[in-house]
């Protein structure tokens, strides 16, 4: 039965009725209600929703780090449940190994796969400059600014060289200015590499500016509340945020999210 | 108004942190050395004036003379070599074995939880009390001194490594797993470097413990070593020679401490992280 569904909803990535239930302090917590998403190849798709809505849980499942309670994740028609390494996954905090130089952090994925150091450095070197990290190869992460650290983790994620890339709030901790720069720059990278990108964010503007499609999640237990196509022309620049169609989408998303944010707030105040 | 006169620089008022730091360093060096020299001179003078009894407290001159005799006619250098070798071998074996033991707890939560109370208990036992047993087990030769040094150092090293393992950032492990890393790769690329500062911080204490272990081993039964020399000197009431032993051991301890401190800096190069610096 799963096969037939896969055949109908052909996509790069098919998330099929995936749900997750945790048990915590003897209580059962539904982190994620059944979610089905089809991700076509080469698109940039955002997931947006209140905090604790299970977006990160879904990412962990797609990344093969967490097993879903129900459902399946298909990549090119094959199940990748419980098998890490199919997608490139940039975790929320960016996470560079503090005892490694930027260069050694960036080539970490290749090192894990056993690629000779020489070879992976040769591959990374030209990109390091493009990621605005030129001259900092031998620096340690704590010597870099937050934006540079995020770019280094992003470069590491890209160098992992998977067709599908998951980014979990990659710019969440950055100040507004840096954030705008990073967004434009991500679009650039995306059109260069032609990857399929799944992007989690809290920021409505960011979601609209970057995405082809947006999935809005409900408060916990998370499920898809609505699916919005972003029909803004590409390539986009920052000016797009002042256009009427951008505003319309923003209005729509604000309404959808306000409701959920209120529910999420009630949930957290009950704790 | 715009081109106001440049502020007059009054040299004494300008804050110069580097100059201040240099001053502090110079003064502390001067005071350090003069305090040491002063103590030695006072010791010499007070014993000569018989304010303190030179029979029990010897004097710097006598100690140097006795040391010279012990070095030229006795076996002082052999003893120093013996004690140093036992200390260093015991330290390396004990710390390595302890670190391996502590790090191994990462592989199984159950195993880690089971071993923790035993490590803590063994740490609380005064290991020197085991000395007679270790001497019987390993004989009166070099091995028993090493065994004592190991017995003293292994548990602190294991506990330090275990502490490091317990504090490993789970997100870094997740990151490695998300890159398709094997458990062994996570262990070698995340767990070991993460726990390194913990292990290294136990080295300074452990070098002192290793030395104490070696000396106590020599006290109990040995043919060589500074510890044996002190015991022998005490038995024949040669208090000057006891003092030579004490001074030699102090210098030995100091040298080893400095070596370990230098090694620390090398081992920790670039290894300081979240727990030492501010969290990202």
H or E, element range at A64: none
Contact (CB, 8 A) for B276 and B197 = yes
- Binned at pLDDT 50, 70 and 90, residue A264 comes out as confident
pLDDT at position B18 over 70: yes
Structural domains of chain A in order of their starting residue, each with its CATH number: 2-84+164-170+197-270 (3.40.50.300), 88-161 (no CATH)
A84 touches chain B (CB under 8 A): yes
H or E, element range at B10: none
Q: What is residue B272's predicted lDDT score, i.e. its pLDDT? A: 57
pLDDT at position B88 over 50: yes
Q: What is residue B142's predicted lDDT score, i.e. its pLDDT? A: 94
Contact (CB, 8 A) for B94 and B154 = yes
H or E, element range at A199: strand A196-201
List of chain B residues whose C-beta atoms are within 8 Å of the C-beta of residue A112: 176, 179-181, 185, 189
Task: Mark yes or no for CB contact B175/A91 under 8 Å.
Answer: yes
Residue B189 to residue B196: CA distance in whole angstroms: 11
Would you give the DSSP letter of residue B221? S
Nearest to A84 among B180, B270, B274 (CB): B180
pLDDT one-digit tens code per residue, B176-193: 999 989 999 999 999 999
- Binned at pLDDT 50, 70 and 90, residue A131 comes out as confident
| 3 state DSSP class of A59 | helix
Size of interface A-B (CB pairs under 8 A): 58
pLDDT one-digit tens code per residue, A177-211: 888 888 888 888 888 878 899 999 988 999 999 99
Contact (CB, 8 A) for A186 and A227 = no
Q: What is residue A2's predicted lDDT score, i.e. its pLDDT? A: 41
Q: What is residue A239's predicted lDDT score, i.e. its pLDDT? A: 84
ipTM of the complex as predicted: 0.83
Task: Mark yes or no for CB contact B178/A91 under 8 Å.
Answer: yes
A113 touches chain B (CB under 8 A): yes
pLDDT one-digit tens code per residue, B186-235: 999 999 999 999 999 899 999 999 999 999 999 998 899 999 999 999 99
Structural domains of chain B in order of their starting residue, each with its CATH number: 17-57 (no CATH), 63-267 (1.10.3720.10)
Instruction: Give the count of beta carbons closer than 10 Å to the beta carbon of residue B196.
Output: 20
Q: Is the dihedral angle over the CA atoms A230, A232, A233, A236 positive or is it negative?
A: negative
Phi and psi at A73, nearest 5°, equal: -120, 120
Q: What is residue B10's predicted lDDT score, i.e. its pLDDT? A: 64
- Please tell me which residue of chain B has the smallest CA distance to A157: B179
The strand pair at A164-168 and A44-48 is best described as unpaired
Contact (CB, 8 A) for A225 and A50 = no
Q: Specify the length of chain B in residues.
A: 280
Residue A211 to residue B95: CA distance in whole angstroms: 54
- Please tell me which residue of chain B has the smallest CA distance to A86: B180
| 3 state DSSP class of A21 | strand
Would you give the DSSP letter of residue A243? S
Residue A229's Cβ-side half-sphere holds a number of Cα atoms within 13 Å equal to: 3
Q: What is residue A241's predicted lDDT score, i.e. its pLDDT? A: 84
CA distance A245 to chain B (A): 38
Contact (CB, 8 A) for A238 and A180 = yes
The residue-averaged pLDDT of B132-159 equals 93
The residue-averaged pLDDT of A42-53 equals 87
pLDDT one-digit tens code per residue, B148-184: 999 999 999 999 999 999 999 998 999 999 998 999 9
Q: Specify the length of chain A in residues.
A: 271
Return the bridge partners of A164, or none.
Answer: A196
List of chain B residues whose C-beta atoms are within 8 Å of the C-beta of residue A85: 178-180
Q: Which of residues 120-179 of A touch B (CB under 8 A)?
A: 140-142, 149, 160
Q: What is residue A130's predicted lDDT score, i.e. its pLDDT? A: 83
Contact (CB, 8 A) for B65 and B45 = no
The residue-averaged pLDDT of A223-249 equals 87
Phi and psi at B279, nearest 5°, equal: -65, 145
């Amino acid at each position: 039965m799963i096969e037939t569904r896969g055949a109908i909803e052909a996509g790069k990535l098919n998330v099929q009725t995936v749900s997750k239930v945790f048990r915590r302090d003897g209580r059962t917590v539904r982190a994620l209600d059944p979610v089905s998403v089809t991700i076509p190849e080469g698109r940039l798709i955002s997931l947006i929703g209140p905090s604790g809505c299970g977006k990160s849980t879904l990412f962990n499942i797609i990344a093969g780090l967490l097993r879903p309670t129900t459902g399946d994740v298909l990549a090119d028609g094959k199940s990748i449940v419980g098998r890490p390494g199919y997608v490139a996954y940039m975790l929320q905090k960016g996470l560079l190994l503090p005892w490694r130089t930027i260069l050694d952090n960036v080539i970490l994925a290749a090192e894990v796969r056993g690629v000779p150091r020489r070879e992976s450095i040769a591959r990374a070197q030209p990109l390091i400059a493009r990621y605005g990290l030129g001259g900092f190869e031998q620096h340690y992460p704590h010597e870099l600014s937050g934006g540079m650290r995020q770019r280094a983790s992003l470069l590491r994620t890209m160098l992992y060289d998977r067709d599908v890339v998951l980014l979990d709030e990659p710019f969440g901790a950055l100040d507004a200015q840096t954030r705008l720069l990073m967004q434009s720059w991500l679009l650039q990278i995306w059109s260069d590499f032609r990857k399929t990108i799944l992007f989690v964010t809290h920021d409505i503007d960011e979601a609209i500016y970057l995405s082809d499609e947006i999935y809005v999640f409900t408060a916990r237990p998370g499920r898809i509340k609505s699916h919005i196509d972003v029909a803004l022309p590409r390539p986009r620049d920052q000016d797009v945020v002042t256009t009427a169609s951008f505003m319309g989408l923003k209005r729509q998303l604000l309404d959808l999210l306000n409701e959920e944010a209120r529910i999420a707030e009630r949930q957290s105040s009950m704790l | 108004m715009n081109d106001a006169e440049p502020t007059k620089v009054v040299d004494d008022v300008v804050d110069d942190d580097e100059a201040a730091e240099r001053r502090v360093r110079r003064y502390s060096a001067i005071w350090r050395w003069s305090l040491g020299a002063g103590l030695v001179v006072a010791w010499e003078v007070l014993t000569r004036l018989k304010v303190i009894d030179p029979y029990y407290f010897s004097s710097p001159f006598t100690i140097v003379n006795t040391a010279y005799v012990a070095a030229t006619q006795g076996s002082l250098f052999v003893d120093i070599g013996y004690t140093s070798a036992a200390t260093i071998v015991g330290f390396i074996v004990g710390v390595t074995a302890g670190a391996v033991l502590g790090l191994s707890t990462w592989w199984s939560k159950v195993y880690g939880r089971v071993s923790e109370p035993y490590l803590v208990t063994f740490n609380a036992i005064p290991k020197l009390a085991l000395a007679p047993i270790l001497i019987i087990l390993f004989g009166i030769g070099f091995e028993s001194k090493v065994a004592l040094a190991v017995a003293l150092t292994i548990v602190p090293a294991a506990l330090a490594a275990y502490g490091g393992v317990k504090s490993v950032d789970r997100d870094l492990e997740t990151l490695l797993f998300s890159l398709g890393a094997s458990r062994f790769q996570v262990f070698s690329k995340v767990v070991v470097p993460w726990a390194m500062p913990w292990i290294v911080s136990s080295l300074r204490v452990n070098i002192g413990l290793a030395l104490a272990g070696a000396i106590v081993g020599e006290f109990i039964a040995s043919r060589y070593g500074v510890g044996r020399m002190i015991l022998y000197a005490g038995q024949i009431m040669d208090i000057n020679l006891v003092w030579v032993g004490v001074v030699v051991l102090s210098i030995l301890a100091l040298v080893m401490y400095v070596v370990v401190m230098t090694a620390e800096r090398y081992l920790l190069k670039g290894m300081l992280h979240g727990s030492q610096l501010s969290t990202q």
